[in-house]
Amino acid sequence: MPEGALIVSAHIQFTSAGQGDVDPVELIVSAEIDADASPISWAPFDLSGRVRSDTISWQPQPWGGAGSAGPEQRTPDLSAMVQEVVDLPGWQANNAMLFLVFGSGRRQAFSFEMDPQSAPELCISYIIPDPVPDCLGVLDGPNMPGAPCDDGDPATGGDAWSAACECIGALLDCEGVPGGASLPGSGCDDGNALTENDAWDASCNCIGDLLP
């Protein structure tokens, strides 16, 4: 699955390994948040120490006899957690994902070691979004609406591309804050105890009147 893929749906398909159901069953499914998951080992806390996604609860119906592989043996939709992994920096095609299923009760499924042909399968449907030109016409470029830019006006700051791809900045106030409130005519503090009614003048000097 390539970088930048948009996940439409995802689930894990298990194949029943026999009539070993124990009810009630309450399972929790999560994914490791890693752009290329490491293989499982016998090291202490190997699984519990991994950073995991938000979980999804699963209460599977009875699985029936060995070899059953249908909706009852299928997890709920996992597209959100798969998308979270695919969006990680470093993700690329053929990287590994790791999912953890735990809880109470029992459903018996074939593992790869038991039968490679009946091993769990991660089934993902995805699309590759069409490239989008940025505000300078570059496909998937960095100058998208909301990104910083330079409007060429020294009197503004915080310049950013608008939704209409206009580079717009906010007027700097007398303290250099884009869109700030310290504008000419507004109050300030000139630090002089002998003055009052301090205010910014047209040249952004903070000036007060001498006390009588």
Q: pLDDT tens digits for 180-190?
A: 999 999 999 99
3-class SS of residue 55: coil
- Give 19-66 pLDDT, tens digit per residue: 788 999 999 999 999 999 999 999 999 999 999 999 999 999 999 889
Extract the runs of DSSP E, i.e. beta strands, from the chain: 6-13, 22-31, 56-58, 99-106, 121-127, 156-161, 167-171, 195-200, 206-210
Non-local CB neighbours of 60 within 8 Å, separated by 6+ positions? 25, 27, 72, 73, 107
Give pLDDT tens digits for 74-126: 999 999 999 999 999 999 999 999 999 999 999 999 999 999 999 999 999 99
Domain boundaries, the chain: 6-127
Q: Which two tokens stand for residue 34?
A: 């890693």
pLDDT above 90 for 157: yes
Average pLDDT over residues 142-156: 96
Answer whether 76's CB lies under 8 Å from 58's CB.
Answer: yes
At residue 19, the pLDDT reads 78
The partner residues of 207 in beta bridges, in order of sequence, read 199
Collapse the DSSP code of 84 into the 3-class scheme (helix H, G, I; strand E, B; otherwise coil) and give the result: helix
Entry pTM: 0.67
In b/e form, how buried is each residue of 137-164, taking b as 16+ CB within 10 angstroms? eeeeeebeeeeebebeeeebbebbbeee
Sign for the pseudo-dihedral over CA of 101, 106, 107, 111 = positive
53: which 2 tokens?
């996604």
Q: Which residue has the tokens 């490491």?
A: 38
